[in-house]
Each structure stands twice: as structure tokens, then as C-alpha cells.
A and B are shown apart, each in its own frame.
Chain A
Amino acid sequence: MKPVLTEAARADVATATPAATESPRLSHATREKENRLVAWLAERRSVILGFSGGVDSAYLATVATETLGPSRFLAVIGRSPSYPDAQWDAARSLAAQFDIPVLEVNTHEMLDANYVANPSNRCYFCKTELWSVLRTVARERGFETVIDGTNADDLGDWRPGLKAAREHDVSSPLADLGFTKDDIRQLSRERGLPTWSQPSSPCLSSRLPYGSAVTIERLRQIERAEAALRALGVEGDLRVRHHGDLARIEISSGQLDTWLVPQKLRALTDAVRQCGFARVSLDLRGFRSGSLNVIGVAAGA
């Protein structure tokens, strides 16, 4: 098997990212998963990856780049209003740092009334658009296999986007080979990927309650508010849930103590109001993945 990183590269990574030197030893089982992934990729003539720059696709992109090289591998970024600019910048920066061959394409899910209506299977319509575009790219450029970064933990969640992937014959090697999110973070850390500790980063539309129409204006409000809160120093998981006039901020429960003081509440409020929300609230349980799934469908939105 090709080494993950040369000794020289490991030294570079250790210099650039001190945390990487503290990486715990990988278990045999985790390392063996990567061996199987390399073997799986090597069996493919050529591969296109849906690349968001998130934890999973960043890891997969680096392994695929090493295994297949730039003539047999292409990472494709699908750009749309629901994809934050900050994540786009991070994805491009990571690709440049790790020599990942990248193509950017625009996707047009905002033109699909089914998507804009924001039903509970919204992700199906978004992914249908994404995989249709990537299938076209693959056909035009002669790539054989299309893959995504779905991992084994994702399979237990409500993810209607997976149906679209199946319908477009998109493979999910990380999930199929049993990679958990923790495996991917550990392996990413060893590789010196800056994404290893990055919070999950679903699309901006996930901040809107089902039934609340997805509009560019609302997506921009959310994006600006989250960027403003990051600028204030909010770390870790962060979502600004959009309830019309009301923003509901979710931060890691461990950070609530830090922010529930008068001057910081004022700073949070000012930052979010400047993004067009009349009212601002802080979730008392803190961040929960999919918290909007349990609130209900927005009425008349």
C-alpha cells in the first residue's frame, strides 16, 4: 500500500499543525479500513467525488488523490446559494494545499419548486440536482464512477438525499466500508487535514423549518448571522435557525455558560439583528443536529 504521508511530509504537517503531533495511535481496525478504501479506489478506472470541503469529503478526496492521481480523480464542488462562501473558500484552500484536482460547477436547485417549498425530503431534490450535474460531468469527461462522502453513521439518520444518490448510481465507499465519523476524524488528523476537528457543516437550508420557503434572502441572512457570530468568537457547533422574524441560535451546550452574561448577550443580539432578524433567541439545550425536525412544519411561510 502507498504510504499515507512520507516522513518528510509528516514533518511538514507537524510543523504546520502542532495538534497533529498529538494524534493518538490509530487502531488496527481503523487503519485497515483505510487500506480497504485504497484498494476499493484502486479498482476503479476513474472517479468523480462530490466535494464540499467538509470532514468526510475532504478525507476521501485526499485518499483518492493519492491513490488515483489527477488523471483518474476529480473532486467537484457544487456551488449554490445554500453553500456558504466560507465553506467554499475552505474547500478551495484545502484542495490547493493537498493538490486535489477540483472542478467547480453551479447547481440550480433554487429553480426547483419542490426544493424551494422545503418539504421534509428537501435534500432529495437538492441531491437529485447535484448528482444529475455530476453525472453529466462524468459522462462528458469520461469518468466511470461517481462517489460521495456519506459515512456509516449517516445511514442511521433521516437523509432523503441518500435516495437521490442511489437513483444516480452514486457509490458511498466510506459508508460501505464501515467508516464512522470518528474513524474519519482520526485518519484526517493523522494526515494533517485541518478538517479533522471541524464541526459538521450541513447546507444553509437546513436552518429553515420544513415548510418555510427556501429563499436566497433567508439563506443570506443565516449565512451572515453565523459568520457574525463566528467573528464574535463562537466556537464549535453553531446554527442560526430561521423562524421568520426570530433567529434561534444554537451553540454547543458547553458554551452556554460563557455566553449567558449580559454584555455577551448584547453582542450576540446586535450581531444577529444586523442580519435582518427582528428578534434573537438562544436555545437553552444548545446545539442538536436536526433540531428543526422535532419542532414541526412552519405555517404559511
Chain B
Amino acid sequence: MTVHPFTIALASLGIEARVEARDALAVITVPNADAAARLRDASLRRAVVALAATRGFTTVALEIGNAADDRAPLSGH
């Protein structure tokens, strides 16, 4: 299975996430609520957005249904 290059870039920031590309929108899904809460850090959010821009994404959205549900660890990277 292909891993989106942005997934690897996010890992460099310590963020485990699945990436879904929708044109210039990147939807990132993290494994649980704690991982989502890490993004309260504004500097980390800025770093994610900046990294996304280098991959051609103008917009990054965190899927929060997954985080709120606190589902099982990510699959299908």
C-alpha cells in the first residue's frame, strides 16, 4: 500500500497520521484523542500547515470524528 509522502513528513514532527488528499485539501487522521490534543500547540499546528504547503496542500484539516471516538490504532497507512 502506498504511503502518502505527507504522512512521512508528519512523522518527522512526531505525528502518526493517515493522510487523505482531496485536491489541495489534506485530511489527516490521528489514532486517538490524545494525539489530536497535541495539536493544541499552536507552533505544532503551524509546522504541520507549513509542511503541508511544501507538499502542495493549501489546507489541512484534522478529522475529529476519529479522535473523538478514540478508535483503534490507524490502519491503511
A contacts, CB < 8 Å to B: 243, 246, 248, 253, 256-257, 260-262, 265-266, 268-270, 273, 279-285, 291, 294-299
In the complex, chain B residues whose CB is within 8 Å of the CB of A299: 23
Is B9 positioned at the interface, with any CB of A under 8 Å from its CB?
no
Interface centre among B23, B24, B39 (most CB of A within 10 A): B23
Offer 19 A-B interface pairs, CB within 8 angstroms, sorted by A: A246-B63, A256-B40, A256-B45, A265-B33, A269-B64, A273-B65, A280-B65, A281-B27, A281-B63, A284-B48, A284-B60, A284-B62, A285-B45, A285-B49, A285-B59, A285-B60, A291-B59, A296-B23, A296-B25
- Judging by beta carbons under 8 Å apart, are A262 and B33 in contact? yes
| Overall SS of chain B's interface | helix
B contacts, CB < 8 Å to A: 22-25, 27, 33-34, 36-37, 39-40, 42, 45, 48-49, 58-65, 67-70
Tally of contacts, chain A with chain B, CB under 8 A: 89
- Judging by beta carbons under 8 Å apart, are B61 and A256 in contact? no
| Overall SS of chain A's interface | mixed
Bound Cα distance A283, B27 (Å): 9
- Judging by beta carbons under 8 Å apart, are B24 and A294 in contact? yes
The 6 A-B pairs of least Cβ separation, nearest first, read A296-B23, A262-B33, A281-B61, A266-B68, A294-B58, A269-B68
Bound Cα distance A261, B60 (Å): 18
- Judging by beta carbons under 8 Å apart, are B25 and A279 in contact? no
- Judging by beta carbons under 8 Å apart, are A284 and B68 in contact? no
